[in-house]
Amino acid sequence: MPLLTNKNSILEVIKEHPGQVRKLWIEQGSERILDECIREAKTHGIQFRVLAKDAFSNKFKGVKSHICLERDEFTYTDPDYLLQTLTSIENPFFCAFDGVQDPQNLGNIIRSAACLGANALIIPKDRACAITDTVTQIARGAIEHITITRVTNLSRYLDELKKAGLFCYCLDEGGKEPLWKTDLKGPTCLVFGGEEGLRRLTKETCDAIVQIPTSPAFPSLNVATCFALSAYEVRRQRNTG
């Protein structure tokens, strides 16, 4: 069951998504500094319990916090529903990931996506990391601000996005066109490989292959870093017109 331990993230979930909360746990002696969380839990009818310090430490081993919130498993947006709602999104900016397996990378991607205004993230159901406790912790509340869907066949779903009017660019070292020279102002889906790179079929499905210019001596970027740079470029272009 996913846990949240960041006070601000917990407050946000209690206020905006109380139906996802199972129980709030407080370490004894911390009630005063966590009074706002307790009051919000009472307001929304959420169960909370104060545990003695030793009991809290035993229950939440390794947690460096005085508060823990148990919540339901993450609920993904239905991929068909996401396609149906595309027309209601002004100038959509989607991002797809072909097999990110490291939860730390995925958590950082989600945080960057929320910060830089992506509308949705698309991840495969197989051979890819799901939204786990670790991912949720690393994202630090960003998971509440981004739509995430899981698809059985990523290439087929990209085809559906293209039919709906999105232009799909995949990021790859072998791309000839620099990302900065690519027009990202219109409906866009950026496609990224996982730690092992993009699969051939995914590349072939995309409309174009672009790259982030890097040092010839060390050209490979971490996928989370690549995504953050790319998402920032989308935001930069759209903000500057």
User: 77-83: long-range contacts (C-beta < 8 A, 24 or more apart)?
Assistant: 77/120, 77/147, 77/148, 77/149, 78/149, 79/122, 79/149, 79/150, 79/151, 79/157, 82/120, 82/147, 82/149, 83/160, 83/161, 83/164
What integer pLDDT is reported at residue 62 of this predicted model?
A: 84
| pLDDT tens readout for residues 7-29 | 998 998 888 777 678 899 999 99
What integer pLDDT is reported at residue 2 of this predicted model?
A: 67
| pLDDT tens readout for residues 169-210 | 999 988 889 999 999 999 999 999 987 888 999 999 999 999
What integer pLDDT is reported at residue 238 of this predicted model?
A: 95
Domain ranges of the chain: 3-71, 79-240
Q: How does DSSP assign 62-94, residue by residue?
A: T--SSEEEEEPPP-PPPHHHHHHTGGGSSS-EE
Pick the closest to residue 229 from 217, 211, 215, 203 (CA basis). Answer: 211
Query: Which CATH number applies to 3-71: 3.40.1160.10, 3.30.1330.30, 1.10.287.1040, 3.30.1510.10?
Result: 3.30.1330.30
How wide is the angle at C-alpha 28 spanned by C-alphas 27 and 32, nearest 5°?
A: 95
Predicted TM-score (pTM) of the model is 0.72
Residues 79-240: name the CATH superfamily. Answer: SPOUT methyltransferase, trefoil knot domain (3.40.1280.10)
Q: Enter the tokens of residue 234.
A: 């989308």
Strand order in the sheet with 48-51: 3-4, 67-71, 21-27, 48-51
Query: What's the pLDDT band for 241 if we cut at 50, 70, 90?
Result: low
CB 53 within 8 A of CB 79: no
What integer pLDDT is reported at residue 183 of this predicted model?
A: 95
CB 86 within 8 A of CB 92: yes
